[in-house]
Chains A and B, each alone.
Chain A
């Protein structure tokens, strides 16, 4: 609330950062912008396979408020992104980063809004899906929005939007090479580091009831090829 970061903010950020380092999530990587500051993160977002963004590498800056997680962070792309929901200066406009308001006109589902149980994971997964499914109800970049709709309405015949995205995606590849980052290109590579996304909620709930949840996790880590095991968590019933 005040200028001073609250105890909650430091605690929540440290916990999330640690967890994302130990168990990276499909589609993005995070690191601190500066070692000694938990409130600014650098994020690398990979374009999801089988979309226009396949093979893309987008860098962004995430800034957390002192009263995180009660208020949402903000995200600014450092990579040039031509997208209906990204401002000229790179600021990302996405509903999950806005507090909920009673506003039937907004055209957004209220469940996408910020609440204190949202976290970096849920935000970045929303960002990845927004990449491919722009919200044209409240565009931050009107030109991009119009162009996107034209592309969409013409079922891909009007290639202006597509071409710009593809150009930016290939620009990202050079950037990734410079950073020594390997961009996951196939669905398999993209998802391999983590649990399959669709059944995740169900799996987590099951895990939640299991008392030896931690034990099970340790087993996975010790098995050494957890990259593959993680994809099918439910099949690992040894513990």
Chain B
């Protein structure tokens, strides 16, 4: 869907119609169906609730079994392409509710991040708005464990929740650009890190890959453990920690194309 093709088509065949718009319209319809059926951030459910999804699938059943030895509950997120960022933000802020010391440290990190963002040339006016809204949500954590409901509500209010996602995307993009030389190795094809950021990191609803996770977890210095549940041979659900060797604060479950939040049994 290159610009030139689109223009040519418009000119030759369909002067009144914009193909981009038509495709967008169709996307919106699908997104609408998803948004009406699945909450941005769901309720905490027992891990066994995963079993019902795989009643006739031995490989997955085994894996759910393995997971249930390590995790006690799961929180589903809406599969809208933002699930990694949203799951990460909610899981981490939720974990800070009863860890105010860590919370104070985290607030400091972010102040650095927005400066990084400004230096990377995002328009200041909008960047500030995203930052301020993000901080509004973050500051709720300062009210301690009793603020859990409030946090949950904000994350299900798209006005706040999506701004948090945008801001984290900008932080991830900033980190990728700052360490462009390093991250270039992870980008396939001939795209530059900058192109990659513009195309895959900054736009909403773009799905996240390892590289997004590494960038965000490094930028914020928050350890993420992702459990990969796929049709692979092993009966164990393999874990990857980002950044490698970090202290894990956020546990996520990955099933092809989607991230949900996990809660370990031990805590």
Residues on A close to B: CB < 8 A? 1-3, 6-8, 10-12, 15-16, 19, 65, 67, 69-71, 74, 87-89, 91, 93, 95, 98-108, 110-111, 113-119, 121-122, 137-140, 142, 201, 204-205, 208-209
Q: Would A139 and B24 count as touching, CB distance under 8 A?
A: no
Counting contact residues on chain B (CB < 8 A from A), the size range is 35 or more
Q: Which of B4, B21, B31, B128 has the most CB of A within 10 A?
A: B4
Q: Would B170 and A140 count as touching, CB distance under 8 A?
A: no
Q: Which of B11, B32, B123, B163 contacts A140 (CB 8 A)?
A: B11
Q: Which of A10, A104, A115, A209 contacts B203 (CB 8 A)?
A: A115
| Bound: A111/B193 CA distance, A | 12
Q: Would B158 and A102 count as touching, CB distance under 8 A?
A: no
Q: Would B198 and A110 count as touching, CB distance under 8 A?
A: yes
List residues 199-214 of chain B with CB under 8 A from any CB of chain A: 199, 202-205
Closest to A106 in B: B3
List residues 134-162 of chain B with CB under 8 A from any CB of chain A: 157-160, 162
> What are the residues of chain B within 8 A of A8 when measuring CB–CB?
158-159, 162-163
Q: Would A1 and B127 count as touching, CB distance under 8 A?
A: no
Provide a sorted-by-A list of 17 A–B residue pairs whose CB atoms are within 8 angstroms.
Answer: A1-B35, A8-B158, A19-B125, A70-B204, A87-B10, A88-B15, A100-B199, A101-B3, A101-B199, A106-B4, A107-B3, A116-B166, A117-B130, A119-B123, A119-B125, A208-B124, A209-B115
How many residue pairs between the two chains, A and B, have CB atoms under 8 Å in the bound complex?
135
Quick one: given A8-B159, A89-B16, A116-B204, are A98 and B11 in contact (CB under 8 Å)?
no
| Bound: A95/B6 CA distance, A | 12
| Bound: A204/B123 CA distance, A | 10
Closest to B158 in A: A6
> What are the residues of chain A within 8 A of B36 when measuring CB–CB?
2
